[in-house]
Every structure is written in structure tokens, then in C-alpha cells.
């Protein structure tokens, strides 16, 4: 079994980027990402395999994006009620 790491969502590594498609678990409430230490996934921006713990701060072609929820897709975020049957 691979060791799992718990990372704050703000840490700028591939595993915490919304453009990385590797295996991870995201806890939005706690704002952490759980990932296997040796995980690898594809960067959808660079179309290349990247380790989850790859530090992106010096990547010239990186456009790291936080995994935070997209508030525009949450109907209750702007105070709108959930769909109701009439």
C-alpha cells in the first residue's frame, strides 16, 4: 500500500492543481488534498505526465489553478433556492 500525503490545497504542486488528472481525494470542507506519495497524472495544460508532488513554482509553462469549488456552478452560493417542484 502506498503512503498517503495530506496537502493543504494552496500548496503549489501538480496534485493540488485543477488541471492535473491524477488520482487524488479532495476534501473541500477541510481544504486538503490526499494523494499517494508516488502518484503520477497528466497535466492537461502541458499534455505531459507529471508527478503529483512536482513543485510548479518554477514551471514556465504552468498555469496552476486552485482546486477550490467554482461558485458559479453552485446554485446556493448566490442565495438562489434549490430547484423545487411547483
Whether 54 is covered by a domain: the verdict is: yes
Whether 11 is covered by a domain: the verdict is: yes
* % of the chain at pLDDT higher than 70: 77
Residue 65 has pLDDT above 70, yes or no: yes
Domain range for 36:
4-59
Whether 70 is covered by a domain: the verdict is: no
pLDDT tens track for 14-29:
999 999 999 999 998 9
56-81 burial code (b ≥16 CB/10 A, e <16): beebeebebeebeeeeeeeeeeeeee
Whether 81 is covered by a domain: the verdict is: no
Looking at the 3D structure of the chain, how many domains does it have?
1
Q: In whole numbers, what is the pLDDT of the chain averaged over residues?
A: 84
Whether 10 is covered by a domain: the verdict is: yes
Whether 24 is covered by a domain: the verdict is: yes
Q: What pLDDT is stored for residue 69 in this prediction?
A: 61
Whether 65 is covered by a domain: the verdict is: no
pLDDT tens track for 44-63:
999 999 999 999 999 889 99
Amino acid at each position: 500500500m502506498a503512503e498517503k500525503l495530506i496537502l493543504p490545497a494552496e500548496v503549489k504542486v501538480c496534485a493540488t492543481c485543477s488541471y492535473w488528472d491524477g488520482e487524488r481525494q479532495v476534501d473541500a470542507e477541510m481544504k486538503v488534498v490526499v494523494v499517494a506519495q508516488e502518484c503520477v497524472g497528466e497535466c492537461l495544460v502541458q499534455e505531459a505526465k507529471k508527478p503529483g508532488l512536482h513543485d510548479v513554482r518554477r514551471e514556465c509553462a504552468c498555469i496552476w489553478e486552485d482546486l477550490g469549488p467554482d461558485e458559479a456552478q453552485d446554485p446556493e452560493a448566490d442565495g438562489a433556492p434549490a430547484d423545487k417542484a411547483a
